[in-house]
Protein backbone atom coordinates (compact mmCIF):
# COMPACT_ATOMS: atom_id res chain seq x y z
CA UNK A 1 0.00 0.00 0.00
CA UNK A 2 1.29 3.44 -0.91
CA UNK A 3 0.49 6.23 1.52
CA UNK A 4 0.90 9.92 0.81
CA UNK A 5 3.07 11.80 3.29
CA UNK A 6 3.54 15.45 2.38
CA UNK A 7 5.13 15.65 -1.03
CA UNK A 8 6.66 12.18 -0.84
CA UNK A 9 5.15 8.82 -1.66
CA UNK A 10 6.22 6.14 0.80
CA UNK A 11 6.48 2.47 -0.12
CA UNK A 12 9.16 -0.09 0.51
CA UNK A 13 9.90 -0.07 -3.24
CA UNK A 14 9.22 3.55 -4.05
CA UNK A 15 10.49 6.72 -2.35
CA UNK A 16 10.62 9.84 -4.49
CA UNK A 17 10.26 13.49 -3.62
CA UNK A 18 9.11 16.28 -5.92
CA UNK A 19 12.65 17.68 -5.97
CA UNK A 20 14.07 14.25 -6.95
CA UNK A 21 11.60 14.04 -9.81
CA UNK A 22 12.41 17.60 -10.90
CA UNK A 23 16.16 16.86 -10.95
CA UNK A 24 15.72 13.64 -12.93
CA UNK A 25 13.34 15.14 -15.49
CA UNK A 26 15.61 18.19 -15.85
CA UNK A 27 18.65 15.97 -16.42
CA UNK A 28 16.77 13.93 -19.03
CA UNK A 29 15.67 17.07 -20.89
CA UNK A 30 19.18 18.54 -20.82
CA UNK A 31 20.59 15.20 -22.03
CA UNK A 32 18.41 15.38 -25.11
CA UNK A 33 18.10 19.11 -25.74
CA UNK A 34 21.00 20.76 -23.97
CA UNK A 35 20.57 23.83 -21.78
CA UNK A 36 20.16 26.47 -24.45
CA UNK A 37 17.47 28.95 -25.41
CA UNK A 38 16.53 26.57 -28.22
CA UNK A 39 15.92 23.82 -25.65
CA UNK A 40 13.60 26.12 -23.72
CA UNK A 41 11.66 26.95 -26.87
CA UNK A 42 11.40 23.26 -27.75
CA UNK A 43 9.94 22.41 -24.34
CA UNK A 44 7.54 25.36 -24.69
CA UNK A 45 6.41 24.07 -28.10
CA UNK A 46 5.97 20.50 -26.84
CA UNK A 47 3.90 21.51 -23.81
CA UNK A 48 2.51 25.02 -24.31
CA UNK A 49 4.02 26.30 -21.06
CA UNK A 50 5.67 29.65 -20.43
CA UNK A 51 9.36 30.41 -20.85
CA UNK A 52 9.81 30.55 -17.07
CA UNK A 53 8.21 27.15 -16.53
CA UNK A 54 10.20 25.51 -19.33
CA UNK A 55 13.46 26.89 -17.90
CA UNK A 56 12.53 25.68 -14.40
CA UNK A 57 11.98 22.16 -15.75
CA UNK A 58 15.23 22.18 -17.71
CA UNK A 59 17.15 23.39 -14.66
CA UNK A 60 15.52 20.75 -12.45
CA UNK A 61 14.00 23.37 -10.13
CA UNK A 62 10.39 22.27 -10.73
CA UNK A 63 8.77 19.16 -12.09
CA UNK A 64 6.00 18.94 -14.65
CA UNK A 65 2.79 17.27 -13.63
CA UNK A 66 -0.17 15.71 -15.34
CA UNK A 67 -0.60 16.40 -19.02
CA UNK A 68 2.73 18.25 -19.25
CA UNK A 69 4.66 15.21 -18.03
CA UNK A 70 2.81 13.03 -20.53
CA UNK A 71 3.60 15.50 -23.34
CA UNK A 72 7.29 15.55 -22.42
CA UNK A 73 7.43 11.74 -22.31
CA UNK A 74 5.68 11.56 -25.69
CA UNK A 75 8.32 13.80 -27.28
CA UNK A 76 11.42 12.76 -25.33
CA UNK A 77 12.75 9.22 -25.01
CA UNK A 78 15.07 10.21 -22.11
CA UNK A 79 12.06 11.54 -20.16
CA UNK A 80 10.12 8.37 -20.94
CA UNK A 81 13.06 6.28 -19.74
CA UNK A 82 13.13 8.21 -16.45
CA UNK A 83 9.42 7.50 -15.97
CA UNK A 84 9.86 3.82 -16.80
CA UNK A 85 12.70 3.46 -14.32
CA UNK A 86 10.91 5.39 -11.57
CA UNK A 87 7.81 3.23 -11.93
CA UNK A 88 9.74 -0.04 -11.84
CA UNK A 89 9.36 -0.74 -15.55
CA UNK A 90 12.96 -0.13 -16.58
CA UNK A 91 12.94 -3.38 -18.55
CA UNK A 92 10.61 -1.69 -21.06
CA UNK A 93 13.42 0.74 -21.90
CA UNK A 94 14.74 -1.90 -24.29
CA UNK A 95 11.81 -1.24 -26.62
CA UNK A 96 12.76 2.43 -26.90
CA UNK A 97 16.41 1.56 -27.46
CA UNK A 98 15.49 -0.95 -30.18
CA UNK A 99 13.62 1.80 -32.04
CA UNK A 100 16.72 4.03 -31.89
CA UNK A 101 18.90 1.17 -33.12
CA UNK A 102 16.49 0.42 -35.96
CA UNK A 103 16.54 4.04 -37.13
CA UNK A 104 20.34 4.05 -36.98
CA UNK A 105 20.57 0.83 -38.98
CA UNK A 106 18.21 2.17 -41.65
CA UNK A 107 20.35 5.30 -41.96
CA UNK A 108 23.53 3.23 -42.11
CA UNK A 109 22.08 0.94 -44.77
CA UNK A 110 21.09 3.96 -46.87
CA UNK A 111 24.63 5.32 -46.57
CA UNK A 112 26.14 1.96 -47.59
CA UNK A 113 23.84 1.74 -50.61
CA UNK A 114 24.68 5.30 -51.61
CA UNK A 115 28.39 4.56 -51.35
CA UNK A 116 28.02 1.38 -53.41
CA UNK A 117 26.08 3.18 -56.14
CA UNK A 118 28.97 5.67 -56.55
CA UNK A 119 31.50 2.90 -57.17
Quick one: 35 and 74 in the same domain?
yes
How far is the C-alpha of 53 from the C-alpha of 65, rounded, in Å?
A: 12
Quick one: 20 and 55 in the same domain?
yes
In 3-state terms, what secondary structure has residue 13?
Answer: coil
What does the angle CA 40 – CA 44 – CA 48 come to, to the nearest 5 degrees?
Answer: 165
pLDDT, average across residues 3-13: 51
pLDDT, average across residues 23-42: 95
Segments forming the whole domain that contains residue 111 = 91-119
Q: Is the pLDDT of residue 10 over 90?
A: no
Quick one: 42 and 81 in the same domain?
yes
8 A C-beta contact, residue 9 and residue 2: yes
Please tell me the predicted confidence (pLDDT) of residue 101.
87
Quick one: 80 and 95 in the same domain?
no
CATH number at residue 40: 1.10.260
Please tell me the predicted confidence (pLDDT) of residue 21.
92
8 A C-beta contact, residue 9 and residue 1: no
How far is the C-alpha of 96 from the C-alpha of 73, rounded, in Å?
A: 12
How far is the C-alpha of 84 from the C-alpha of 81, rounded, in Å?
A: 5
Q: How many domains does the chain have?
A: 2
Amino acid sequence: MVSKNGSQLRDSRFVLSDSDLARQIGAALREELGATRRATKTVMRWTGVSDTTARAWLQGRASPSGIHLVALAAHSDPVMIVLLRLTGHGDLELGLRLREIEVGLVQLLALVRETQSRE
